[in-house]
């Protein structure tokens, strides 16, 4: 009986060892390529996830992907406009997938260049993503709503900075970037093509728009976009349409989102003990105590000193419905988002109003849209990241011997003089720099659609709009900072404003001939757009009354910072005649 029990126990133990062996839980790197079954072209921006887990990746611009997955896992491929597909890994190192387009909802109306059209009538490549398809979770900027949602659209996060922008590419880049050429698509917000060049004080001009106010986003990918918007649309067009009200009782909506971001993996560097062991062993072997003499007694993890959990709160309140038969929607929002780098912070206060009445027995449709926001940034010194990786972990954050540098430890030579080429204290880089900005932005327009009484198939369309933004800020470095100790610190002020106005008029004729199963629509129009930039240039100043003792005549002005021109006002206009 005892032998039988021992035999059964060994068999059970062997079974458990096989079932829970590392092979059963091993992660394989699976690569592959996703293509369109229609023409074999590569699909960018396709979302690939490991079924039942949170492991997710996207295809690159050439359709390729790489993901870690167990040998027995199932990969799920999803993209707007294509049928969802699944593929079993089954230990294979490579999986190629051909996705099939779906031809559903052909009667759905999508926003295109200068108007709307039914999906079934489209001849160009247009993908529309609505609220129900948007990326979920905390989203600080509109382009992040499209992550993994549109085939051929690549949205790459520009970094971990709060409110930071993303790199957006539609079907790859069309330019090498020479001569200042851009690969960014054109953004059109409620009928107003906006300047994507950014503004002083903002790392991402799109973060001035509240994602919670967006109803749908259409992505125009092919030459039809360039035909109507000109060469500025050579990299595609992204059309943003904000939410509007509808007739009925008032509806109130409030939502709040909380977020927490952490550094998932730090750079693997030597610890203080590792460095001490190496230096002491070298000194014992060679008799050279040069490096031994500068070793410290601390155990500082510099990456822990500069990183923190990043908390975020996003609150939005809206009311929609009709007031005296006038549909409207009004909203306010407040977002505050910390960065994982200490002192980094982004705040946004936003408001929007959409009024859409119909007059003259519904022959005149009016759309008034206003969107305003104020964003405030505290920019952390990004150089602290590289310094945290390179700085000596045997040294402390603070040192009484370096009192003239704000009490922070810095590298000094034998004479107590700061070593110019030495790595700077990463904590000091963060705490001794005050880089703040404030950006105001207003986007507003009035659209009129008049349906001729005696010829209702003919519409006259007017669009008057403005996009105004103003950014200003201060970039101040403390007088005790090791980075600017020679000039007694540095005080810099900047200011810039941009104004973009548009005046459009179009004639649109649409007629459906049911007997012939034919639809005719004709669009002709004229567009006039004016862009004005106002730049104010300032010198930088020292905290001392005399910045450079060798140039006392300059007083507190830092040499070399004086602008050539105090103001600059570039302006250009764009006039277009179009037809479709």
Q: Where are the beta strands (DSSP E) in 236-295?
A: 237-242, 251-261
- Tell which of 55, 73, 99 closes a domain: 99
Q: Looking at residue 59, which CATH number applies to its domain?
A: 2.60.40.1120
DSSP 290-309: TTGGG--S----HHHHHB--
95 and 141 in a single domain? The answer is no
Residue 366 reports pLDDT greater than 60? yes
Which of 26-30, 113-117, 123-127, 331-335 is least confident? 113-117
pLDDT tens-digit series, residues 418-441: 888 899 999 999 999 999 999 999
Note whether 113 and 224 are within 8 A (CB): yes
Alpha-carbon dihedral of residues 560, 562, 565, 568, nearest 10 degrees? 100
Give a yes or no: residue 43 inside a domain.
yes
Give a yes or no: residue 29 inside a domain.
yes
Residue-range definition of the domain harbouring residue 178 = 109-242
Note whether 476 and 488 are within 8 A (CB): no
Higher pLDDT, 10 or 218: 218
Query: What pLDDT is stored for residue 111 in this prediction?
Result: 53
Note whether 237 and 192 are within 8 A (CB): no
Give a yes or no: residue 55 inside a domain.
yes
142 and 93 in a single domain? The answer is no
Q: How far is the CA of 549 from the CAs of 406, 486, 557, in angstroms? A: 22, 10, 11
pLDDT tens-digit series, residues 182-209: 788 888 898 888 887 788 988 788 888 8
**Listed residue (398, 380, 391, 383) closest to 480, CA to CA:** 398
Mean pLDDT of the chain: 85
Q: How far is CA 570 from the centre of its chain?
A: 27
- DSSP secondary structure letter of residue 82: E
Residue 403 reports pLDDT greater than 90? no
**Whole-angstrom Cα distance, residue 58 to residue 409?**
43
Q: Could you tell me the maximum CA-CA distance found in the chain, to the nearest angstrom?
A: 105
Query: What pLDDT is stored for residue 19 in this prediction?
Result: 39
Question: Left, alpha or beta for 9 (phi > 0: left; psi -120 to 50: alpha)?
Answer: alpha
Unique residue bearing structure tokens 């560097």? 269
85 and 202 in a single domain? The answer is no
**Phi, psi angle pair for 17, to nearest 5°:** -65, -40
Query: What pLDDT is stored for residue 11 in this prediction?
Result: 41
Query: What pLDDT is stored for residue 467 in this prediction?
Result: 94
pTM for this predicted structure: 0.78
**Whole-angstrom Cα distance, residue 114 to residue 577?**
13
- Tell which of 99, 120, 150 closes a domain: 99
Note whether 501 and 465 are within 8 A (CB): yes
Region 75-88 average pLDDT? 86
**Listed residue (246, 44, 34) closest to 127, CA to CA:** 44
Contacts of residue 281, defined as CB under 8 A and 6 or more positions apart, other chains included, come to: none
pLDDT tens-digit series, residues 283-314: 999 999 988 988 999 999 999 999 999 999 99
Which band of pLDDT confidence, cut at 50, 70 and 90, is reported for residue 336? very high
User: How many domains does the chain divide into?
Assistant: 2
Region 379-389 average pLDDT? 94
Note whether 469 and 440 are within 8 A (CB): yes
Region 531-551 average pLDDT? 90
Residue 1 reports pLDDT greater than 60? no
Tally the residues of the chain. 580
Region 454-466 average pLDDT? 92
Q: Looking at residue 116, which CATH number applies to its domain?
A: 2.170.130.10
93 and 141 in a single domain? The answer is no
80 and 114 in a single domain? The answer is no
pLDDT tens-digit series, residues 31-69: 999 998 888 888 888 889 898 887 888 888 888 999 988
Burial code (b: 16+ CB inside 10 Å, e: under 16) for 305-318 equals bbbbebebebebeb
Which of 130-144, 235-249, 316-330 is least confident? 130-144
Give a yes or no: residue 210 inside a domain.
yes
207 and 150 in a single domain? The answer is yes
- Tell which of 221, 242, 263 closes a domain: 242
Region 138-143 average pLDDT? 81
Which band of pLDDT confidence, cut at 50, 70 and 90, is reported for residue 78? confident
Give a yes or no: residue 325 inside a domain.
no
Q: Where are the alpha helices (DSSP H) in 307-445?
A: 383-390, 426-431
Unique residue bearing structure tokens 């310094």? 387
């Amino acid at each position: 009986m005892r032998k039988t029990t021992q035999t059964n126990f060994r068999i059970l133990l062997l079974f458990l060892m096989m079932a829970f062996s590392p092979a059963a839980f091993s992660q394989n790197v699976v690569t592959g390529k996703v293509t369109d079954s229609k023409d074999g072209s590569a699909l960018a921006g396709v979302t690939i996830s490991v079924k039942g887990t949170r492991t997710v990746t996207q295809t690159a611009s050439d359709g390729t992907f790489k993901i870690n997955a167990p040998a027995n896992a199932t990969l799920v491929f999803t993209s707007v406009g294509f049928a969802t597909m699944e593929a079993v890994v089954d230990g294979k190192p490579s999986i190629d997938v051909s996705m099939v387009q779906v031809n559903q909802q052909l009667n759905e109306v999508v926003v295109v260049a200068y108007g709307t059209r039914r999906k079934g009538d489209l001849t160009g490549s247009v993908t529309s993503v609505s609220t129900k398809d948007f990326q979920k979770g905390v989203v600080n900027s509109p382009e992040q709503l499209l992550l993994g949602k549109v085939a051929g659209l690549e949205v790459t996060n520009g970094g971990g900075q709060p409110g930071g922008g993303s790199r957006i590419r539609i079907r790859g880049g069309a330019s090498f970037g020479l001569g200042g050429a851009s690969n960014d698509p054109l953004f059109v917000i409620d009928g107003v093509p906006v300047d994507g060049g950014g503004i002083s004080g903002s790392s991402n001009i799109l973060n001035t728009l509240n994602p919670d106010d967006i109803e749908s986003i259409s992505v125009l990918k092919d030459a039809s976009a360039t035909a109507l918007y000109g060469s500025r649309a050579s990299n595609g067009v992204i059309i943003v349409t904000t939410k509007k009200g509808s007739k009925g009782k008032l509806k109130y909506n409030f939502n709040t989102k909380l977020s927490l971001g952490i550094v998932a993996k730090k750079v693997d560097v030597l610890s203080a003990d590792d460095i001490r062991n190496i230096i002491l062993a070298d000194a014992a072997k060679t008799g050279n105590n040069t490096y031994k003499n500068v070793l410290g007694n601390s155990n500082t993890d510099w990456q822990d000193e500069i990183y923190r959990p990043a908390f975020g709160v996003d609150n939005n309140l809206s009311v929609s419905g009709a007031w005296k038969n006038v549909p409207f929607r009004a909203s306010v929002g407040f977002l505050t988002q910390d960065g994982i780098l200490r002192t980094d912070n982004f705040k946004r206060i936003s408001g929007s109003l959409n009024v859409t009445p119909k007059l003259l027995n519904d022959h005149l449709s009016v759309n008034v849209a206003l969107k305003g926001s104020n964003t405030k940034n505290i920019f952390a010194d990004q150089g602290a990241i590289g310094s945290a990786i390179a700085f000596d972990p045997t040294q402390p954050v603070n040192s009484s011997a370096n009192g003239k540098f704000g009490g922070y430890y810095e590298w000094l030579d034998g004479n107590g003089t700061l070593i110019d080429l030495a790595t700077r204290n990463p904590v000091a880089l963060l705490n001794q720099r005050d880089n703040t900005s404030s950006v105001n932005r207003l986007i507003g327009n009035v659209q009129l659609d008049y349906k001729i009484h005696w010829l209702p198939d003919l519409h006259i369309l007017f669009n008057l709009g403005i996009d105004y933004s103003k950014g200003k800020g201060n970039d101040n470095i403390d007088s005790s900072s090791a980075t600017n100790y020679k000039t007694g610190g540095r005080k810099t002020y900047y200011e810039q404003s941009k104004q973009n106005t548009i005046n459009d008029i179009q004639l649109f004729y649409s007629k459906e001939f049911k007997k012939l199963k034919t639809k005719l629509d004709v669009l002709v129009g004229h567009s006039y757009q004016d862009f004005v930039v106002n730049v104010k240039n300032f010198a930088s100043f020292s905290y001392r009354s005399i910045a450079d003792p060798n140039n006392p005549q300059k007083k507190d002005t830092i040499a070399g910072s004086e602008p050539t021109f105090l103001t600059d006002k570039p302006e250009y206009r764009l006039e277009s005649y179009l037809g479709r």
